Structure 1
């Protein structure tokens, strides 16, 4: 009886709150976590952009990656990360796969296309080298999840 009474009061109060107040309560109650994005960038010859990452110890070469910023779409966040890391412009970004179940993050794989014919320019801090590779010339040591999205990009191009 008391349980139903409390539930009724909570429901009535909840319904009287407006959207922003409801969202704030939900935000405080639920875990917040980061959204990581990694993906394939294809050029006009269907070659794959790979970056040599200074801070990755297990495999130096990999696809462009980073984290989505607050208020940013996944597609825009990936394009921003590629631009920051290489100076290249990416468009036609499509979500390939979402991986969840991690404690503090979820990961999204995307596939995009290079816009224009520019060569990658790296700052040498986070990324030390950027090159386009044919699929039959991929370097050893790529993560399995990155190889999977590279293969998927080949199936859609």
Structure 2
């Protein structure tokens, strides 16, 4: 399946609406490593910190509403998350880690009128604001969304069906009948730019997307399959061509709901596209000039996504 912006699209995870597509249709300007990293977090001492992750210090809590939106304030240097500073670790929160001596947590909660006495410009989501946040906020937001999604989708034990209890500051659940622990899972998915060895690459479009919206190909890794084998299989399934010279580029967590995107580039062994209508609605070859000038697709993936990261790097000539 083609992945729109670094993550998978399923019945439980619909694609963004037309209003969420970025206006920027030109590629080649963004070559930084994608955001959504956890470089600022330290969860390695979780066992030592439990059962009091805050260790008596105020904890900064990121509130997440039922639409996966969070409070944001527009400051002079761009948007920033608004945290609710609590004197104690709140019941039901998930510990996110510690940065610069400050503990952070996420809490599913209805929208309050104010958040910690701080101004809130809007409540918005990861897709809309992720690319504009600094590394700390972007990492905290992606981590919070991912772990909260996991809890909401796994309220019952996969072993006995019994309601689970939350343990380890939100990073494990326990089946009360069997005593077994259940931990968060991550679904690996591959996302790949296929090029012709020259100046063209393949972009595809799902039927659910607005007309003119294109991205690189992607799909989930199946059981017993390597990531490289998944690249070759997905390309063959979606556009009917073979690939070689499959090379890893980078990865990105994408919590919609719980994917880890593994980015690749690959060279096509034949050029005649045979589109599988069950997978995608449209696929075409686009040249670097078309992507660079904006004369190709009307819309490309947003800057926060690994899809855009790979497209931009290819347009800039990093892959051949």
For residue 140 of structure 1, the aligned residue among 298, 308, 313 is 298
- Deviation sequence 1:91-125 (CA, Å, 0-9, x none): 1111111112635221111111101x331111223
- Aligned positions of 1:35-50 closer than 5 A: 35-50=188-203
> Residue 46 of structure 1: CA displacement?
2.8
8 Å Cα contact 1:54/1:60 also seen in 2: no
- Is 1:30 aligned to 2:183, yes or no? yes
Equivalent residue runs for 1:72-91 within 5 Å = 72-91=225-244
- 1:32-111 alignment, distance < 5 Å: 32-56=185-209, 60-100=213-253, 102=255, 104-111=258-265
Which stretch shifts more, 45-54 or 83-92? 45-54
Aligned residues of 2:240 and 2:276 also touching (Cα < 8 A): no
Paired with 1:82 and 1:132, the residues of 2 have a C-alpha distance of: 14
| Pairwise CA distance, 1:59 | 7.0
For residue 152 of structure 1, report the CA deviation from its aligned partner: 2.0
2:268 maps to 1:114: yes
Runs of 4+ in 1 over 6 A off after TM superposition: none
Structure-1 separation of matches of 2:220 and 2:212: 19
Structure 1 residues not aligned, in runs of 5+? 1-27
Structure 1 counterpart of 2:310: 149
User: Is the 1:54–1:125 Cα contact (8 Å) retained in structure 2?
Assistant: no
Let me know the Cα RMSD of the aligned residues.
Answer: 2.1
Q: How far apart in 1 are the matches of 2:201 and 2:211?
A: 20
Aligned equivalents of 2:212, 2:263: Cα separation in 1: 18
Task: Tell me which residue corresponds to 2:280.
Answer: 127
Provide the aligned length of Structure 1 versus Structure 2.
Answer: 129
Whether contact under 8 Å (1:61, 1:141) holds in the other structure is yes
Q: Is the 8 A contact 1:40 1:111 kept in 2?
A: yes
Q: Which has the higher helix share?
A: 1
